[in-house]
Chains A and B, each alone.
Chain A
Amino acid sequence: MKWFWYASPQTFYPVAGHIARWCAAAAALLAAAGLYVGFFVAPTDAQQGEAYRIIFIHVPAAWMSMFLYVVMALWAALGLALNTRLSGMMASALAPTGALFTFIALWTGSLWGRPTWGTYWVWDARLTSELVLLFLYLGFMALQAAIDDPRRADRAGAVLAIVGVVNIPIIHYSVVWWNTLHQGASVSVTRAPTMAATMLTGMLLMALAFWMYSIAVSLVRVRCIIRERGSS
């Protein structure tokens, strides 16, 4: 079994450097392509005018914010189950990027909401769950920051991340039943999207760019963590 070969920080460190470099380049190219499609190729929306173009940032950021929490919890669970050092490092490396995307999704959402809904903030279900998600990320980071022993920090953070990931659907549905104003999802796997193909292309390009960015940044961060812990 070669699966665990790269689980050791020493062997993972150079590989992470290579992957990070390629992913960063891919992120730059994809983002350039995605932004070009989003700003110059995609048609103006009939109802929302030019303001809708912020969704090329907003929607991929919102996707990533939720997806990264799940990935983080997966790494955390892996670290608890197999007791590998690298898993905990990956979880703590992913958290700031996830929090960043959550913040971007909230920020761009409120900028989009001003011309479209006429208000920066509404207590709508998706906005509220996204806000709670931001709090969950910040709680995870605060807990890890408060613990000096890195092993304990990893394991405590892992328990919190798993509890959080179990709670996310509960939080989401409780908030949905509580209040809903946000428009329904325009993109879903099961039915044809209700938007122009070029818009979808731009959005998917941006989503890919954010993927690559997340991988690159978290790998760079995990390299920093490996170095920090290696010296102590």
Chain B
Amino acid sequence: MFAAARCVVYRDLLLALRRRSDVATALLFFVIVTSLFPLGIGAEPNLLRAIAPGVIWVSALLSSLLSLRRLFEADHDDGTLEQMLLGAAPLGVVAAAKAFAHWLVSGLPIAVIAPLIALQYDLAAQLFGVLALSLLLGTPVLSLIGAIGAALTLGLRGGGVLLSLLVLPLYVPVLIIGAGAVEMAAAGLGGGGQLLLLAAMLVVAAAFAPWAISAGLRISLE
């Protein structure tokens, strides 16, 4: 079971490495969107400091959404996904492994680069840790929930827009708690409670999302 999961993660990472531009695009999207906000809102430092957590989180959300389409599409097109469905490894494990690989490629780089963006927004240096940690805990939840949507919209016309319509409302709690953690820490109240909530969401999503993803895949491929 773990061998199958390792295999899927390794394969997806290898595929991502072979097509580096795809990975770079999502990351670049994140960087560009975050730099658009000061241009639209104005570069007043107090304002920027106040909106930084929200802007970074919303951009992370959109960037994660952008790469979701690729999660199953290529495998669906060349028939690999059907083989995975027929294979001996439980589909839930495969689904969880694919979501994990998606996070490694899309969520992890964002969590790493976020402090750099926070620097542009003049966020206090002691908040960088909370920001990165909240993204580290929150972006895997985004990948898991997003994978459900990606599985359900597999092969549909207008799938991209539809996917965002399905997934964005479900992202709301992660956004609120994730950005809230940084805001609480900035207010001097400590973001510990919010981080624990994010961790709880991650545990719940990791336990239940693979079922929903595999149910969605079975429905889409029958």
User: Interface on A for B, CB 8 Å cutoff?
Assistant: 80, 132, 135-136, 138-139, 142-143, 146-147, 152, 155-156, 159-160, 162-164, 166-167, 170-171, 174-175, 177-178
Contacts and interface: CB of A to CB of B under 8 A. Distances in A.
Contacts of A159: 148, 152, 212, 215-216, 219
Nearest to B201: A170
16 contacts: A132-B169, A132-B172, A135-B168, A138-B165, A139-B169, A142-B165, A143-B162, A146-B153, A146-B156, A152-B219, A156-B219, A159-B212, A160-B148, A163-B212, A166-B208, A171-B173
A156 B220 contact: yes
**B148, B170, B201: most-surrounded residue (chain A CB, <10 A):** B170
- Interface bracket on B: 20 to 34
Interface of B: 145, 148, 152-153, 156-159, 162, 165-166, 168-170, 172-173, 176-177, 180, 201, 208, 212, 215-216, 219-220, 222
B13 to A, nearest CB: 27
Q: Mostly helix, strand, loop or mixed at chain A's interface?
A: helix
B176 A152 contact: no
A143 B152 contact: yes
B152 to A, nearest CB: 5
A28 B177 CA distance: 44
Contacts of B159: 146
A163 B166 CA distance: 10
Instruction: Identify the 7 closest CB pairs spanning chains A and B, nearest first.
Output: A174-B173, A135-B169, A139-B166, A155-B219, A174-B176, A156-B152, A178-B176
B162 A142 contact: yes
B165 A139 contact: yes
Nearest to A149: B222
Nearest to A166: B208
Given A139-B166, A146-B157, A174 B172 contact: yes
